């Protein structure tokens, strides 16, 4: 039977222990299912440990982003328990003159892996010295770099700043680096609901403001911006925000979904009475 032309991928991978879901020596495997059933990514215990650090915020693995053209999946996994002697040793003296010691440690960070479905491998992405902000990360295969070459990229901004930062990791160098880029909407508080790889570019999707995209592989990346059409807000939001455009736009964003379909970005606006697809765009049309 031929594989389905498209699938629905679960954001929650299946963690495999000693069962036979994963082939011998494999770290990942994808169980395809035709829609409306859900395809599931299975990962080994090397990716997601059996014991999780009790202080970790991330308790189970989840899919953060993917590049379907190359079969790459960016995965976040919980960290294993920290050593008992981790953290800084501190001391204090109680009222009776007895010295007490304790340890102060940071909340353990999650682990990041890029899974290559075709090769059944999972490559650990090193921690960039706690520089990741909001998990607004995308993964994209390197053009002409051979199987397994990729970049992991995050767009970081400061409100009212004309410049922003691309924090990017290259599998070819094994290093993280920062690149200064332009911020097309300096006064906007970006909130990304998805990071999509398409046509050799990464696209950060803000369902209220629009699409922000670039080619992260060039020496001097330039952020391009495609706005989404404005839609009249429902009457209950008129005047509620005292002119705060950000709050009003967020009310609109909660009814929207933007994703690729048949090679084009399509925006679906959902109202209380009807659902309509009113806008579609493509990078080739972006000016």
- Largest pairwise CA distance in the chain: 77
Q: 130-133: long-range contacts (C-beta < 8 A, 24 or more apart)?
A: 130/106, 131/167, 131/176, 132/167
Count of the separate structural domains present in the chain: 1
Q: Are 62 and 34 in contact (CB under 8 A)?
A: no
Residue 65 lies in a domain: yes
Residue in the block written with tokens 């001097």: 220
C-alpha distances (whole Å) from 79 to each of 62, 113, 230 are: 13, 12, 42
Using DSSP, how many helices (H) and how many strands (E) does the chain show?
1, 21
Residue 247 lies in a domain: no
Residue 268 lies in a domain: no
pLDDT of 242 reads 47
Residue 278 lies in a domain: no
Residues 6 or more apart whose CB falls under 8 angstroms from that of 68 comprise 197
Residue 221 lies in a domain: yes
Residue 62 lies in a domain: yes
Residue 52 sits in which domain range? 8-229
C-alpha distances (whole Å) from 110 to each of 58, 107, 165, 262 are: 6, 9, 22, 34
Residue 240 lies in a domain: no
Residue 37 lies in a domain: yes
Per-residue pLDDT of the chain (287 residues; tens, 9 = 90+): 677 788 899 999 999 976 667 888 899 999 999 999 999 999 999 999 989 988 888 999 999 999 998 999 999 999 999 887 677 788 888 888 888 887 777 788 899 999 999 999 999 999 887 666 667 899 999 997 566 799 999 999 998 899 999 999 999 999 999 999 999 999 898 989 999 999 999 999 998 889 999 999 999 999 999 998 876 655 655 555 544 556 667 777 778 889 888 888 988 887 655 545 555 554 434 43
Q: Are 117 and 66 in contact (CB under 8 A)?
A: no
């Amino acid at each position: 039977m031929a594989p389905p032309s498209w699938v629905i991928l679960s954001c929650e991978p299946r963690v495999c222990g000693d069962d036979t879901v994963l082939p011998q020596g494999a770290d990942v495997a994808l169980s395809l299912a035709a829609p409306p059933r859900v395809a599931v990514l299975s990962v080994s215990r090397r990716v997601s440990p059996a014991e999780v650090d009790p202080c970790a915020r991330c308790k189970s693995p989840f899919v953060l982003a993917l590049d379907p053209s190359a079969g790459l999946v960016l995965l976040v996994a919980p960290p294993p328990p920290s050593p008992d002697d981790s953290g800084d040793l501190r001391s204090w003296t109680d009222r009776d003159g007895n010295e007490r010691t304790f340890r102060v440690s940071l909340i353990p960070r999650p682990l990041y892996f890029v899974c290559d479905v075709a090769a059944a491998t999972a490559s650990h992405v090193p921690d960039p010295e706690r520089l990741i902000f909001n998990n607004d990360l995308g993964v994209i295969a390197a053009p002409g770099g051979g199987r397994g070459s990729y970049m992991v990229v995050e767009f970081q901004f400061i409100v009212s700043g004309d410049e922003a930062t691309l924090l990017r990791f290259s599998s070819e160098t094994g290093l993280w680096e920062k690149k200064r880029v332009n911020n097309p909407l300096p006064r906007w508080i970006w909130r990304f609901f998805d990071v999509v790889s398409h046509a050799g570019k990464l696209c950060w999707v803000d369902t209220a403001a629009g699409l922000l995209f670039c080619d992260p592989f060039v020496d001097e990346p330039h952020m391009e911006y495609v706005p989404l059409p404005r839609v009249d807000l429902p009457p209950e939001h008129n005047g509620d925000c005292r002119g705060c455009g950000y709050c009003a736009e967020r009310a609109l964003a909660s009814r929207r979904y933007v994703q690729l379909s048949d090679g084009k970005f399509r925006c679906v606006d959902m109202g209380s009475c009807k659902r309509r697809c009113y806008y579609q765009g493509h990078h080739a049309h972006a000016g």
